[in-house]
Amino acid sequence: MSVTIKASELLADAGIVEDVSYYRSFDSEDEKAVLTVPMKITAGWARNDADFFASIFVENGSLLMQDTQLTSREQIREYMAAGFRGGLKGAQVSGGPLEIKFLRDNVAMVITEGGIILAGESEIAPERQIRATWIIVDEGDGVWKLFSHQSSPAPYKG
Amino acid sequence: MSAKASKLVAGAKEWASYYGDFTQGEEAAAFTVPLRARAMWDAGDAEGFADVFVENGSFLVGDQQLTSQSEIRDYMKAAFAGGLAGTTFAQEPVEVKLLTPDVALVITNGGIVAAGATELAPGASTRDVWITAKQDGVWQLVSLQTSPVKG
């Protein structure tokens, strides 16, 4: 028997205030629960918190950062910790969903647009605008987690 | 063995090598999705390429998000008649992960090999993520996105 937890609760548990504008047109309870994952990732960037960022992934989660394919929560944590100490210090991300598809009850694919706003920048520079594919899963406890994130350069339409 | 038979065997052996480490069970079955897409691309077959996708399959090409089999077919038909004519699809397996018994994430290194060339040009390398799912017993492509990498 699977557990269902509302998006607002999932966000509150992570100390995040729900920004309903993030959902755009994807506002069913199921879609909102899935979208808590990109919202948490956004919060992880805003906090520059690598531990929290990595905790959003499943144990063997996959993240493509530039040329580096990170394939575990631990690799992701180390990569982001170094990033937040270095070139990504003070960086944030912004964006929103374009498409959500439930592949199974507990597996969703989300496509978002967005990008990285480096410290001192006020918007996403054209060369940092991306399209991302997210695979988001519920392992049975109602807390949706990130299985895979991949981004490709593509213009942000907003 | 006749020349035709030995050519078939050589072809089968060559394709068998494309599975890399993923030669067993459902992982190998899921990996037939990128292999089928590659075969259709190499044949310049837009119809066959689109058929690898599920009906509402998603494919990011350049700035365009194609979101159905028919959009993918139309786009590739024009591309194979134009800028992609004679190109082939490079592909090496990186990872196959089953999310459920019938949903898998496949990651490959790839890129588009120019017509007449035998290997990728510098700067043409991509990391490709294939979201695959089994429908009516057949592994199909739900989403394909490629990301440029330095290689």
ipTM score for this prediction:
0.86
Tens digits of residue pLDDT in A97-131? 999 999 999 999 999 999 999 999 999 999 999 99
Looking at chain A, the whole-number percentage of residues with pLDDT higher than 70 is: 99
pLDDT single digits (tens) B6-31: 888 888 888 888 888 888 889 999 99
Give the gap in angstroms from C-alpha A152 to the nearest C-alpha of chain B: 5
What pLDDT, on a 0 to 100 scale, did the predictor assign at position B11? 87
Q: Do B60 and A131 touch (CB under 8 A)?
A: yes
Residues of A in contact with B62 (CB under 8 A): 154
Q: Per DSSP, which regions of A71-118 are E strands?
A: 92-104, 107-117
Partner residue facing A98 (CB), from B56, B65, B127: B65
Strand A129-138 versus strand A144-153 pairing type: antiparallel
Model confidence band, residue B35 (pLDDT cutoffs 50, 70, 90): very high
B interface with A, Cβ–Cβ < 8 A, is 56, 58, 60, 62-63, 65, 67, 94-95, 97, 99-100, 102-103, 105, 107, 127, 129, 131, 133, 142-143, 145-151
Alpha helix positions (H), chain A: 7-13, 29-47, 50-55, 73-85
> Does the pLDDT of residue A73 top 80, yes or no?
yes
pLDDT at position B9 is: 86
The reported pLDDT for the residue numbered B127 is: 94
The answer to whether the CB atoms of B148 and A131 lie below 8 A apart is no
- Please name the residues in contact with A5: beta carbons below 8 A apart, sequence gap of 6 or more: A33, A142, A143
Question: How close A22 comes to chain B (CA, Å)?
Answer: 20
Contact A136, A77 (CB under 8 A): no
- This model's pTM is above 0.80: yes
Distance in Å, alpha carbon of A44 to nearest chain B alpha carbon: 23
Over the stretch A5-61, which tens digit does the pLDDT of each residue have? Answer: 999 999 999 999 999 999 999 999 999 999 999 999 999 999 999 999 999 999 999
Report whether pLDDT(B61) > 80: yes
**Whether B88 contacts B113, CB under 8 Å:** yes
